[in-house]
Structure 1
Amino acid sequence: MRKYWVRLLLLFTLFCCSVFTSAATVRDLHNVRVPVLDQSEASRTDAIGGAFQQVLIKVSGTRDVLDNAVLMGEQAKAKSYISSLRYERDATNQLQLSVTFMSAPLQVLLESADAPIWGASRPLTQLWIAENTGEERAVVGVDNKLWYHELQMAMDARGLPVIFPTWDLEDEMALPVASLWGLFEQDIERAVDRYASDGYAAGRIIQIGNEFNFSGYLTYSKSREIIDVSAASIPLLANQIAGSIAESLSDRYAVVALKGVDSGYVLRVSGVQGFSSYRALMDYLSAHVGVREARLVKAEGDTLTLALELTGSWQQVWDVLALDQKLIRSDTPGLYAWQP
């Protein structure tokens, strides 16, 4: 009997890990760091321009913003968007300028430029990567300091929450390096199930002459996208991998303001118990980049009817809200359950 309950508990735990989404909140979404030669005014001015471009990419999720005339026209005024800046040194003693931008003005700017806006609540991605740039094939985890460090920095720069496998005995048995190198999907998916996340990227890195190549794929919501990128250095390849993931996820989750169309949506939410619960719901919705305003229309017991003014479509907004698992869609159309 005891073994039965232990097995039941284990199955329930694995079910929870594999079913529930695991969106993460990106800290310092509006902060970027750029290298500088010195602390002179000329170096600082150049760095601020570069930081402005980086934060636009990070907040929108796409490098397409660099081709947006409205946004690039504001680069000369980048200082007016800055909240704070300071000099610091990284692990290699490289001098950097850390720049934090104000979120509200940036959001207004992106919206006015018809550019996508990707909020701080973002999907969590597992990274299953093998590399053969040394003497033998190896997995990329915390013990693989070179690739782990470069990939983590690249993901942070694009505002991507990621987790690497621990590569303990359980992982090694579930997915030998040969299986990962061969990109055997069934083996990879069995290993992925151990960790709670919203999707995963798997691939292999190889050095060919003076060039580094990554070939693999990104899987989210049963969709699969091939990633095949090359670069002349390890940091550049890490940036290419992060860029491919960011562009794909931004296309799915970022909100683009719609103009000239009805932006209203009526939302019914059950499970709102008392004023504090109501306040938490309204604050949660209002904080979403796709919601301009949330207004109470009617209250019936613990069920509220809300009028939302959106910057984009409800489907765009819901795709992101669903990651947090605070609003649960019911079987009744238009009705959601509040689970703070």
Structure 2
Amino acid sequence: MVVRLLTFLTIFCISISASAATVKDLYDVAVPVEDQTEESRSDAIGGAFQRMLVRLSGTEQVLENPVLMGEQSNAQSYMSSLRYERGTEEQLLLSVTFMAGPMQKLLERAAAPVWGSSRPRTQLWLAVNSDEGRTAVGPEEGEWKAAFDGAMRRRGLPWMFPAWDLEDQMALPVASLWGLFEEDIASAAARYSSDGYLAGRIMAVGGAYSFTGYIHHSDIRHSLSVQADTPELLALEIAAEVAEKLSERYAVIPLAGIDNNELIRVTGINTFADYRALLEYLSANVAVRDVVVVASDRDEVTLALDLTTGWSQVLDSMALDKKIIADEEGVAYVWQR
């Protein structure tokens, strides 16, 4: 994406910590492969391509998009590298890295959602019944930790377990978590710096697993109830529900054939570093095609944005970062570097 500077200004800095997490390996996918034959490799590349489409859009509905599915035979043209590696239990994997620009353009051409690398971090407050009774699922629970790590990574979702130290145990007894007492859960979750949480109970009955709980994120409150045969499959089902719900809020849906130019004023540009950081930040957003500097006046710049969708949806996609916020009058925006 090109940022064209129509005027030059010398301009200074405010810093604020963003609560969103950047998914660093968003374009890397590893899929099982039977062997290193050409046929097996071709099948694995097709599977990796589908996983990438789901991860980048946040929804499995893209697998029904004829434009995207028509490109699966050309999947190698969207790849930058591939290699074989060994996973757990010496399973052979094909590790594929896709190119960000071509993949985003493909999704845009297909009028499919595009979810950038800045995504909300989700706390997992979970309790499970076991031989020892009902226990909290934390970072020391190897089986469940591995299951959720793989599932959340597959969907490109930043996540964390609470520490479940004495402070957590006092704030949220397992009985309260098992009973899904929402006020107690919200109070315990407030200790951590994240964007929302998933709370629920896992029951193991007759060799199968079931989950009952809910997602709480900003103004989103969504109930979940899923079943699966193994911890790994249950975690995949839960991660899929979380991704589908959050992508509804944060993924950008391109509007083909519609003029989406937006003129905005941004204040708080006090150094040239601020100026450059603002332009780089906007240019990196998946919904911004182009940024043009129209005018500058002391600590304020006026920018013309060429967008793939409406400005309100772009603002939603940037809300987690808290870098551009509306001023008190609602007529301009303030840069919070």
TM-score, L = length of structure 1: 0.92
Conservation of the 8 A alpha-carbon contact between 2:83 and 2:95: yes
Aligned: 1:80 with 2:82: no
- Name the stretch that deviates more: 100-109 or 330-339: 330-339
Conservation of the 8 A alpha-carbon contact between 1:21 and 1:197: no
Aligned: 1:160 with 2:157: yes
Conservation of the 8 A alpha-carbon contact between 2:252 and 2:317: no
2:199 to 192, 199, 202: 202
Aligned to 2:182: 185
Unaligned runs of 5+ in 1: 1-18
How many residues get paired?
322
- Name the stretch that deviates more: 248-257 or 225-234: 225-234
Q: Distance in 2 between matches of 1:314 and 1:140?
A: 40
RMSD: 1.4
The CA deviation at 1:210 is 3.0
| Cα shift readout 1:261-284 (whole Å, capped 9, x = no counterpart) | 330111111111233321111111
Aligned to 2:163, what secondary structure does the other structure show?
Answer: coil
2:41 to 23, 44, 55: 44
Aligned to 1:272, what secondary structure does the other structure show?
Answer: coil
Aligned to 2:117: 120
2:280 to 280, 283, 288: 283
Q: Distance in 1 between matches of 2:69 and 2:35?
A: 25
Conservation of the 8 A alpha-carbon contact between 1:268 and 1:305: yes
Q: Distance in 1 between matches of 2:237 and 2:73?
A: 27
Displacement over 3 Å in runs of 4+? none
- Name the stretch that deviates more: 172-181 or 19-28: 19-28
TM-score, L = length of structure 2: 0.93
Aligned: 1:28 with 2:25: yes
Aligned: 1:65 with 2:62: yes
Q: Distance in 1 between matches of 2:274 and 2:132?
A: 57
Aligned to 2:3: none
Aligned to 1:58, what secondary structure does the other structure show?
Answer: helix
| Cα shift readout 1:79-100 (whole Å, capped 9, x = no counterpart) | 1111111111223321111100
Q: Distance in 2 between matches of 1:133 and 1:41?
A: 45
Q: Distance in 1 between matches of 2:43 and 2:131?
A: 37
Aligned: 1:55 with 2:64: no
Aligned: 1:98 with 2:61: no
Letter in 1 for 2:164: W
Aligned to 2:216, what secondary structure does the other structure show?
Answer: strand
Aligned to 2:212: 215
More helix by share: 1
The CA deviation at 1:20 is 7.7
Q: Distance in 1 between matches of 2:131 and 2:71?
A: 45
Conservation of the 8 A alpha-carbon contact between 2:18 and 2:323: no
Unaligned runs of 5+ in 2: 1-15
Aligned to 2:296: 299
**Matched-pair identity in %:** 55
Aligned to 1:267: 264
The CA deviation at 1:134 is 4.0
| Cα shift readout 1:121-142 (whole Å, capped 9, x = no counterpart) | 0011111011114442121111
- Name the stretch that deviates more: 149-158 or 207-216: 207-216
Conservation of the 8 A alpha-carbon contact between 1:263 and 1:309: yes
Conservation of the 8 A alpha-carbon contact between 1:20 and 1:196: no
| Cα shift readout 1:185-215 (whole Å, capped 9, x = no counterpart) | 1111110010011111100111222321111
Q: Distance in 1 between matches of 2:22 and 2:138?
A: 22
The CA deviation at 1:250 is 0.4
Aligned to 2:319, what secondary structure does the other structure show?
Answer: helix
Letter in 2 for 1:198: D
The CA deviation at 1:287 is 0.4
Aligned to 1:4: none
Q: Distance in 2 between matches of 1:328 and 1:186?
A: 29
Letter in 2 for 1:218: I
Q: Distance in 1 between matches of 2:63 and 2:281?
A: 31
